[in-house]
Structure formats: C-alpha cells, structure tokens
Chains A and B, each alone.
Chain A
Amino acid sequence: MIHDASRPLLSVRHLTKRFGKGCAACSHPEQLPEGSNHCPHCGTVWACNDLSFDLYEGEILGIVGESGSGKSSLVQCLYFDNPVTDGSATIATYEKGAANIFCASSQQKRYIRNHLMGMVYQNPWIGLRMQFSSGGNIAEKLIAAGQFNVHNIRARAKELLEHVEIPVTRMDEAPLHFSGGMQQRVQISKALANHPPILLLDEVTTGLDLSVQARVLDLIRRIQRESRTAMIVVSHDLGVIRMLCDRTMVMKQGRCIEAGLTDQILEDPHHAYTQLLVHSLL
C-alpha cells in the first residue's frame, strides 16, 4: 500500500504500561509520590506513562533516558512482547491507519510483527536462536511471513547477510560462535528480512567496543538512507542519538519529559533532567 509521507507512519497515543496489579493508592499515576513511578504500597511500577508520539517514514526517532526510564518497555509494548495497560497505536499501512494494533487478534499481531515491524534487542540471545544457523535464523522470519521456497529463502538470506557484511561462507554457522558485533548484525538482517517499514532498535550498540559499535551505527545509517525505513532508536548514549536521530524524546520514570529536534535538545535543553544529561556528556 502506498503511504502518504506527510502523514505519520506510526502514531502512538497515551501508551501506558503498568507492571503489577495496582492498588487504591496508585490507581492514577498522579497519586504516586513526586519523582517516582513506583507505588510504595503495592510495589506496582508505571513503566510507561501516557506516552504519545508520531514516527514518519524515513526518519529515525531517538528515545533517550536513564536505566529504568521505560525506554525498553515502550518498544517491547510496540512489538507486542508485553501487553499494554492502556493506549493505542496505529500504523498507516495497516487497516488504513484506523485500527488500534494493541487490540488486534493474536494472528493479526503476528502478521504485524512479521511484515510491518522488525526488532533488534540489546541482548542478541533474545532476538536470535543461538544454536540455529545464521541463515536459519533469517529463514525463520521469512517462513513466518509465508515464504516456503527454499531456494528463494537461501537467496534472500545470502543477500541480507552480505548487506550487513557477514561473510556468506559463515551463513550455515550458528551465531553462538560469532562475536557480539556480528551477532548484532545478524539480528539486524533478521529484523529486515521482510522489508518492514518500521524498525525498533533497543540499545543495539550498548556493550560493544568502539570500532564494532561504529560498524553497527554505519549499517543503521545506510539502511535508513537506502530503504527509508522508519526507526525508533532507544539509547542511553547521547552520542549515538546525536549521530543518528533528527528528533529525540527524553524519558524519565516512564514519562516523556521533553521532545524536540535533536540539536535543540542537546544545545537548548529545557527540563532539569535533560540539562543534567547534556552536561554529563563527555
């Protein structure tokens, strides 16, 4: 389906994710103690609280914040790894942008995960089957999207691995034997297998050494330039955000405290926490 580029590809409204049952003392997040997203009575955590934003075709939106600010919970909710507590999300190329994807049936959610979105986790053990071959990992995603011709599957896997600079000769090796940077690149190729218009990247360079990190970042930039895939890049590293993103959202304790053009966030931060973050930048 052709998508009008001036309209958002993904629209998220009032996304809320609560871990825990909640109690009378925290039925509304406003009741929580100042500066906390944790209920002192029942231990419930409001991981994402009333988040609304748009993602456009070809853009990279950065989400930055400290550990525990809800960044990963947000992308996990979008990828249906975790059910949301409240809120909606629509994708312009799904049901003409009229259906809340969080209310879709399990079958439809699988369709969205396999055709419209790709996800790359910080921990490649979650995104990959470490004992399967790299080609097999990609094949799994292709088969899930209804491709069964072995020849085509192998050809596509080869193409993808070449794209992320994994030697094709290692296609039949399991990612278990690969370095961290290579595992991350296999994960990216798997996420891209079905040409999804939306790619979610959760701290993909965290823990990688500098030159390896550089190759992964260059790959992300190349994908965005060549295929105009819209991406959400979650990172606590402002350097990564500065390099990749046009727009950035800053999260703290489950809330979006500031959003704007990335250079504006970095040079003219408004919120106290963003100022602290920017002044902590090396």
Chain B
Amino acid sequence: MTALIQVDQLEKTFLMHQFGEKRITGCRGISFTAHEGEFLGITGQSGSGKSTIIKCIYRTYLPSSGHIRYQSERFGPLDLADAPEREVLAIRKEEIGYVSQFLSIMPRMTALEFVMEPLLDMGENESTARLRAKDMLDHFNLRETLWDTYPKTFSGGEKLRLNLARSMARKSRLLLLDEPTASLDEASKETVKERIYELKKSGTTMIGIFHDLDFMESVVDCTYKLEHGLLKEVL
C-alpha cells in the first residue's frame, strides 16, 4: 500500500503572549503513517493533544516543527506543515475534508445550500450537487421541512446532523474526523457508521479521533493511543 500521509516528529507549541509568554504544548514527537484507503483511529484522554494533531494536518494550526508529508493528487508530494496557503486552500477544497462536532454555520444560507457548498467548490454541477445534498440530508435524518430554512435556529441535534451531512457529502481523498460522534444519539451514530463504510469502500483514507471506543473499534483498521504526549500503536 502507498503511504498517503506521513506525519514525522510533529510538534505544536502555543505561545501565549497575554499570559506572561506562557508555553503550552499541544503535541510533540508525533509520527505515524496512513496508507491509501486505511482508517486510522487515535484515542487518548481529553487534553492529550488529539485534536491538535488533526488541526495541524488541516493547517488550522501552524505546526511548530516536524513534517506532514502528503501525496496530493494535484500538486504531487508536499509538506502540509509549510505548504503555501494557496495550495492548502486548494487541497481543502478538492482533497482533504474535515468533520468536527462543531457547526460553523454561514448566516443566511439554507441547510440545503450549506450541504451543497463543498460539492460546488469541488466542481460538481448545480443539479448533481443538489441531488447529492438531498441524499445526505435524508441519510442523516434531517426533516425535509427544514431543508429550505436557515440552520441558525435548529436544535442541537439537528445542527450536528446537518454538519455531518455537509462534511461527509463529498468523497475526499483524506477525511479528518475530530470526534464526529460526540453528543450524538445511538441512531445517529449508526448513520455515521454507514457513511464511513461507504466512504471506506470508495477508497477514502481517514484519520479519526473518538471517545467512544466501541464505535471506533467497529470502523478503524488500526488504533494509536496518545499517552503522556507520545503516540503508540495499539495492537
């Protein structure tokens, strides 16, 4: 199997200027490889730095040191730790998806438009994107009466499911999952699981963080545990 992404000695430290130049370590010495089509799960206690790793890969955090070597379809091999912003933006649109438990809604955009947006960004035409988005909203059990309304006033559960419909709608090469099942009910977790299986079947590589170990074990190919800042493979 070919390595799609290789994280090498990744370190992230936050320097807090407003708090007497305090340094907070997010993660350090993180190395692992995810091969094409593989699903890699990361576990660890709260605050152990799991999300930091995911956010460094997505470049929401700028890594302090180390490398994130990624085989891009469009740009070839590149290091996400210091790739130019324009390339990172293009890769986010076309290749790397990010799913979290937090919904960042765009004001005055309907639920349907919100799910269609990443598909349109990827170059999908309007009618295909619309059909696909409707499929996803249906899959994640969002009532059809809500599709043409603004998500701002949705309930907590509806927002979570809308967020999943959006971020899991398209087929990415690499999908990063940052506790997507946190605060979901059992039925919704099942819909996430079904979508993960579909994506896996279509060859998407995934890296995910989960608190729910049973859920994680049912979807991942290999597990890493983050303990005292060190990442160990669990056999």
Contacts and interface: CB of A to CB of B under 8 A. Distances in A.
Interface in B94-153: 106-108
B18 A218 contact: no
B61 interface: yes
Interface stretch (A105-113, A165-173, A269-277): A269-277
B17 A268 contact: no
A2 B145 CA distance: 45
Interface stretch (B85-93, B162-170, B223-231): B85-93
A104 interface: no
Interface string A258-282: 0011011001101110011001000
B18 A270 contact: no
A235 B86 CA distance: 22
A263 B60 contact: yes
A217 B55 CA distance: 28
B85 A270 contact: no
A259 to B, nearest CB: 8
A247 B85 contact: yes
Interface string B60-87: 1110000000000000000000000110
Interface of A, secondary structure class, is: helix
Contact of B61 (A218, A247, A268): A268
Contacts of B16: 275
Interface residues of B, number: 17
Size category of the binding interface on chain A: 10 to 19
B89 to A, nearest CB: 5
A35 to B, nearest CB: 14
Contacts of B18: 272, 275-276, 279
B53 to A, nearest CB: 14
A248 to B, nearest CB: 10
A50 interface: no
A56 interface: yes
Contacts of B61: 264, 267-268
A140 interface: no
Nearest to B107: A214
A260 B88 CA distance: 11
Interface in B14-70: 14-18, 55, 59-62
Interface in A204-251: 214, 217-218, 243, 246-247
Q: List the 3 closest A-B pairs by CB distance, nearest first.
A: A272-B17, A268-B61, A263-B60
Interface of B: 14-18, 55, 59-62, 85-86, 88-89, 106-108
